[in-house]
Structures are given as C-alpha cells and as structure tokens.
Amino acid sequence: MPRIKLQRFAENATRPDIVEPGKPAFGQLSGRWGTDFFNNHHPLVLEVGCGKGEYTVGLAQLHPEQNFLGLDIKGERIWRGSTRAEALGLQNVGFVRLLAHQLTEHFAPGELSEIWITFPDPRPRDRDIKRRLTSPRFLNMYQTLLAAGGVAQLKTDSEGLFEYTLEVLAGRPEARVEVATRDLYAETDPAFAAAQAIQTHFEGKYRAVGVPIKYVRFSL
C-alpha cells in the first residue's frame, strides 16, 4: 500500500469527525448521533456513498442548523472530506466508514431527516440490481430510518438508474415522488433550487460534455 495512503489512514484513526471500525464509538451511536457525536439535537442528514465528501461538506456549509454525515467504505475518500471540513472549520459534519447495506446496524428507526444519494454506481448489469442504492432492498432501509416527513434525493448522470428508480417508486404504494427531472439545471422552478445549489467536480464534468443531470426527490 502506498505510504501516503497509510499516512491518511493513520490520520483517520485520530480524527474525531470520523467514525470507523476500531474506534470506540463505532457501532455504538445508533439513536444517539445527535447527542453523542454532534452534541446537539439538530436534524441529521445522511449522504450514502459520499465519495470525497464534496456534497456532504457543501450541505454542511449551506445549512449550519443541521448535522450531516457522509457514508463511504473508502478510507482515503473519507480523509479528503474530513480534511476539507476541518479546513473550513465546520462542526456540523462527520464521516462514517461503512458499507451501505450496514445502515440499519448503525442508525435507529426515524433517526434521519433526509438522505442524499449522489452519483452512485448505476450497477447496469441485471445481476447487480440488488446493489443499486435505489433498489427495494435499500428503499426499505431508508423507509425505516427516515423520520416522519423525511425525504430521500437522488442525483445521477445515468438515465438507466433514473428510470429504474422511478419504476421502483411507482411500484410502492406508500412512496411519493415530490419532484423529478431529466435535466436538473434546465429547471427554473424553486422546487429544484436545493438540488442545484451544490455541484460536485464530476457533476461539472458531466455537464461540460452535455450530459444532463437527473434528479428525483421522494418520500417513502
């Protein structure tokens, strides 16, 4: 393993804004993220598959009245998000190193006010359907973890994943699509303003080559 990666993993082990295997808090915060991690009772927003944390940190900058957690399994990616949050002096953002299917082991029912799914792997092969972050398997988890009135939001460049998500939601009688678009940045309705407020590096690259960004906000 490259030395720089080992160094970053060592730094992750000392950072209070990162929860990962081996730390005392890992697996102990379900139902207590607000009181024991953020030391407040603000609404908790989770980004599933946060990558380098651009979106999580961006949301934390825009909304100091809320708490934000970025979830990813890659320690080096989390290090980048943590480093940016530290440089900005943010106290309302943290990162947790987990696989997405472990969500219900680390969060309590109704603990999340909002979930963001930003540019996940679309998993186009049929054999990988259950690994899509908007498959019924994951929607069932989100439904359990979201508080009453909570919403989930997907941003993607993938037409296939967008269509799949709409189809899955249409098959759930309890689900409601609040807004959806195949070209987010062509929208002028204020209902899309929150999703337009942050643009990741890769999102900018997609737009630069003419790939429209798809977006849907839904409740479960």
Give residue 182's identity as a one-letter amino acid code.
R
Query: What are the two backbone dihedrals, phi and then psi, of residue 155, each rounded to the nearest 5 degrees?
Result: -120, 135
Strands (E), 101-166: 112-118, 146-156
**Per the structure block, which two tokens stand in for 180?**
């959806």
130/38 Cα distance (integer angstroms): 32
SS3 assignment, position 93:
strand
20/27 Cα distance (integer angstroms): 9
- CB-based contacts of 30: which residues, under 8 Å, 6+ apart? 105, 106, 107, 108, 111
Nearest by Cα to 101 from 145, 69, 68: 145
Q: Which of 17, 36, 72, 121 is catalytic?
A: 121
Does 72 participate in catalysis according to the annotation?
no
Question: Is 157 within 8 Å of 147 (Cβ atoms)?
Answer: no
SS3 assignment, position 118:
strand
Helix-then-strand count for the chain, H and E: 8, 8
Give me the active site residues, please. Answer: 121
